Amino acid sequence: IEMKEKRDLEEGKFNNNYVITISREYGSGGREIGKEIAKQLGIGYYDLDVLRKVAQEMDITEATVQENEQSIKNVADSYILNWCAQTTTEEQLPIVERIFHTQSRIIKEIASKESCVIVGRLANHILKDTCECFNVFIGADMDSKIKQIMERDGLNEEEAKTKIEKVETERENHCVYFTHTEWRNLSNYDMYIKSDIHGIEGTAKVIVKVAKKKLNFQ
């Protein structure tokens, strides 16, 4: 990072860049919508790229990052992790903590260099008070999410519903542990939208329209 960018990172100031963060329910099409938003605005798109950068910097596999990224299963896990975080050095922290710290730094570095769309990874909290952000939460009816996961992953209805509930519980626990606020708390977002009403392209268009107004650009 060049000296100015490094200073901006330390001071929490990211020039005139803006970031659209996408938090989403599992099966709502958040990734596809994020890509479409980036395409419409002509800006960068970051999702699994962040995961790959974390794996490279920590010298672990991408699979290890994916397995541990949201590995807080319940309240008991969070108490144990919180105790460990207070009694160990950075190198001794649980891997979920080290992944989050590395991820946070990478996300801030990306935001310091360019305007972009970032999907997931609590980017709305990580970038709070550092740059112009438009934070979106994308949801959908359960039936729509089940259909999406059945088609994408080749699962039956019961399997798809179970997977959705599992992933969303992990996202909720992950958010509560690292931000002390609920994942679905809409006060954390500038906009909530249901993708099953508008479709992928339609949802992206609505988000872009509102984001332009909120961020005051054409």
Total domains in the fold of the chain:
1
The three-state (H, E, C) secondary structure of 58-120, written as one string: HCCCHHHHHHHHCCCCCHHHHHHHHHHHHHCCHHHCCHHHHHHHHHHHHHHHHHHHCCEEEEC
- pLDDT (tens, 9 = 90+) of the chain, 218 residues, equals 454 445 554 444 556 899 999 999 999 999 999 999 999 999 999 999 999 999 999 999 999 998 887 765 544 444 444 544 555 556 667 888 899 999 999 999 999 999 999 999 999 999 998 889 999 999 999 999 999 999 999 999 999 999 999 999 999 999 999 999 999 999 999 999 999 999 999 999 999 999 999 998 76
Beta bridge partners of 133: 19
Q: Would you list the DSSP string of 19-69? A: EEEEEE-TTS-HHHHHHHHHHHHT-EEESHHHHHHHHHHHT--HHHHHHHH
In a domain, 217, yes or no: no
Taking Cα atoms as reference points, which of 13, 57, 29 lies closest to residue 136? 29
In a domain, 26, yes or no: yes
In a domain, 156, yes or no: yes
| Structure-token match 């260099």, residue found | 113
- How confident is the model at residue 13, as a pLDDT? 52
In a domain, 69, yes or no: yes
Tell me which residue range forms the domain holding 23: 3-205
| CATH code, 127 | 3.40.50.300
In a domain, 211, yes or no: no
In a domain, 124, yes or no: yes
In a domain, 218, yes or no: no
Q: Which two tokens stand for residue 38?
A: 């980036």
In a domain, 210, yes or no: no
